[in-house]
């Protein structure tokens, strides 16, 4: 808010992720919308990790916060991630979108989606809007993972989304655990500085509705086993 007030004489934009990709937490969008409205700034939300997962009919973190176009004039929705396709969509006020189409250099020099991918994306949107059972299943798997992680003594971050970071501490442990998990048949990316802060290296677990409870439990066991084996080797 201080920065917005210091730039009161010019146009200002307040930009945020809807769901933060490394921690899995959700932005305080209602509070940010209030700040943007008070300071006359344009609020832009990149909802790559919220669309398909949060909100009524999977409409994302903006809808989940009870906000609309009047509150968030510009929003990005990826066609990848939950929708399983490629590319992205910028949605919002028609004048804003038209302006971006005319001046955004990356867009100007990017070719359009192939028709088959556009059709696949439309089909995915219809499924995401209709199939609430997918989100219910995903919510159950998130709960299962967090409960199991607590049982195994794994340190998680406060995330209620499919992004579940398992903290490993130093930047040598995370890739060692990732390699051990790959040998056990699990692909879990290690995240290290400078992507995250020093001492906050982690395994970035991402759950989907296609995973089974058996797979989640097997992953938890494999993470705990990798942790214990690496700790023994260090000792």
Query: In terms of domains, do 67 and 177 share one?
Result: no
- The DSSP 8-state label assigned to residue 131 in this structure reads -
Query: In terms of domains, do 12 and 113 share one?
Result: yes
Mean pLDDT, the chain, rounded, equals 92
Q: Supply the CATH number for residue 211's domain.
A: 3.90.1150.10
pLDDT at 214 over 60: yes
Q: Supply the CATH number for residue 72's domain.
A: 3.40.640.10
Query: In terms of domains, do 11 and 125 share one?
Result: yes
Give the residue from 130, 162, 185 where a domain finishes.
130
Q: How many residues does the chain have?
A: 235
Inter-residue contact 53 to 129 (CB < 8 Å): no
Query: In terms of domains, do 213 and 226 share one?
Result: yes
Inter-residue contact 205 to 164 (CB < 8 Å): yes
Q: What digits encode the pLDDT tens for the residues 39-90?
A: 889 999 999 999 999 999 999 999 999 999 999 999 999 999 999 999 999 9
pLDDT at 223 over 60: yes
Query: In terms of domains, do 161 and 126 share one?
Result: no
Query: In terms of domains, do 79 and 155 share one?
Result: no
Query: In terms of domains, do 32 and 102 share one?
Result: yes
The CB-based long-range contact list for 128-131 (8 Å cut-off, 24+ gap) reads 128/51, 128/52, 128/57, 128/58, 128/82, 128/83, 129/57, 129/58, 129/59, 130/57
pLDDT at 22 over 90: yes
- Active site includes 212? no
Sheet of 163-169: strand order equals: 163-169, 201-206, 189-191
Query: In terms of domains, do 105 and 151 share one?
Result: no
Q: Which of 81, 121, 201, 209 is catalytic?
A: 81
Q: Which of 49, 121, 159, 209 is catalytic?
A: 49
Query: In terms of domains, do 123 and 8 share one?
Result: yes
pLDDT at position 235 is: 47
Query: In terms of domains, do 117 and 143 share one?
Result: no
Query: In terms of domains, do 136 and 194 share one?
Result: yes
pLDDT at position 4 is: 67
pLDDT at position 183 is: 95
For residue 19, what are the domain limits?
A: 2-130
State the total domains in the chain: 2
- Active site includes 49? yes
pLDDT at position 148 is: 97
Give the residue from 130, 163, 188 where a domain finishes.
130
Give the residue from 64, 98, 130 where a domain finishes.
130
Burial class (CB in 10 A: 0-12, 13-18, 19+), 117: middle
pLDDT at position 5 is: 65
- Active site includes 21? yes
Q: What digits encode the pLDDT tens for the residues 83-127?
A: 999 999 999 988 888 998 889 888 888 888 899 999 999 999 999
Query: In terms of domains, do 158 and 222 share one?
Result: yes
């Amino acid at each position: 808010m201080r920065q917005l007030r210091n730039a009161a004489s010019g146009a200002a934009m307040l930009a945020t992720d809807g769901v933060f990709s490394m921690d899995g937490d959700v932005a305080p969008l209602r509070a940010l919308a209030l700040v943007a409205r008070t300071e006359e700034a344009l609020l832009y939300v990149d909802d790559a990790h919220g669309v398909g997962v949060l909100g009524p009919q999977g409409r994302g973190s903006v809808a989940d916060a009870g906000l609309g176009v009047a509150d968030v004039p510009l929003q990005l929705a990826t066609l990848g991630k939950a929708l399983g396709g490629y590319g992205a969509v910028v949605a919002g006020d028609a004048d804003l979108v038209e302006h971006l189409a005319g001046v955004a250099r990356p867009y100007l020099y990017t070719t359009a989606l192939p028709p088959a991918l556009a059709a696949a994306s439309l089909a995915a949107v219809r499924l995401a809007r209709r199939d609430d059972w997918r989100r219910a299943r995903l919510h159950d798997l998130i709960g299962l993972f967090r409960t199991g992680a607590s049982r195994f003594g794994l340190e998680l971050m406060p995330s209620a989304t499919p992004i579940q970071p398992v903290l490993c501490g130093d930047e040598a442990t995370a890739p060692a655990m990732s390699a051990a998990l790959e040998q056990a048949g699990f692909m879990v990316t290690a995240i290290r500085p400078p992507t995250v802060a020093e001492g906050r290296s982690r395994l970035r677990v991402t759950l989907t509705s296609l995973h089974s409870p058996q797979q989640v439990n097997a992953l938890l066991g494999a993470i705990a086993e990798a942790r214990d084996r690496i700790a023994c080797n260090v000792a």
